[in-house]
Amino acid sequence: MPEIRWLNARGFPNCEPQGVSKTPQEPSFPSGPLEPEHLQRPDAVLCLLYDALLPYSIPCQVAPRRLTPGGDTFWLVTSGRVEVYRKYDDMTFWVTNGPALIGLVELFQPFGRHYVRLSAETRVATLPVDKVREILTSRMLWQEVSEVLAHYFRLLIYRDEHLVCKASYTAIRSKLLEFLMHKDSRARQRAGVVTYIQRTTLLSRTLIYHVLSDLEKGGYIRMDNGRLEAIRQLPKQY
The CATH number linked to 43 is 2.60.120.10
Whether 148 and 227 map to the same domain: the answer is no
In a domain, 44, yes or no: yes
* pLDDT of 141: 97
SS3 letters across the chain? CCCHHHHHHCCCCCCCCCCCCCCCCCCCCCCCCCCHHHHCCCHHHHHHHHHHHHHHCEEECCCCCEECCECCEEEEEEECEEEEEECCCCCEEEEEECCEEECCHHHCCCCCCEEEEECCCCEEEEEEHHHHHHHHHHCCCHHHHHHHHHHHHHHHHHHHHHHCCCCHHHHHHHHHHHHHHCCCCHHHHHHCHHHHHHHHHCCCHHHHHHHHHHHHHCCCEEEECCEEEEECCCCCCC
- If one counts the domains in the chain, the total is 2
133-to-62, 76, 126, 233 alpha-carbon distances in Å: 24, 14, 14, 46
Domain range holding 200?
168-231
Of 125, 154, 183, the one marking the end of a domain is 154
Residue 88 lies in a domain: yes
Q: Are residues 127 and 189 in the same domain?
A: no
Q: Which of 154, 188, 205 is the last residue before a domain boundary?
A: 154
- Tell which residue, 181, 179, 171, has the closest CA to residue 33: 171
Residues 150 and 172 in one domain: no
Higher-confidence position of 21 and 196: 196
Tell me, yes or no, whether 135 and 174 share the same domain. no
Please give the single-letter amino acid code of residue 6.
W
Of 122, 154, 186, the position where a domain reaches its end is 154
Does the residue 202 lie in any domain?
Answer: yes
Q: Is residue 93 domain-shared with residue 41, that is, in the same domain?
A: yes
Query: Where does the pLDDT of residue 19 fall: very low under 50, low under 70, confident under 90, or very high at 90 and above?
Result: very low
Residues 101 and 143 in one domain: yes
In this predicted structure, what is the pLDDT of residue 6? Answer: 36
pLDDT at 182 exceeding the cut of 90: no
Residues 196 and 125 in one domain: no
Q: Give the chain's length.
A: 238
pLDDT at residue 71, as a whole number: 80
pLDDT computed for residue 227 by the predictor: 81
| Same domain (yes/no): 78, 129 | yes
The mean pLDDT value of the chain amounts to 80
Residue 74 and residue 106 in one domain: yes
| Cα 167 off chain centre by | 25
Q: What's the pLDDT tens digit per position in 148-181? A: 999 998 888 887 776 766 678 888 888 888 888 7
In terms of C-beta density within 10 A (0-12 exposed, 13-18 middle, 19 or more buried), how is residue 113 classed? exposed
pTM: 0.68
Residue 2's pLDDT is: 38
**Is there a single domain that holds both residue 81 and residue 192?**
no
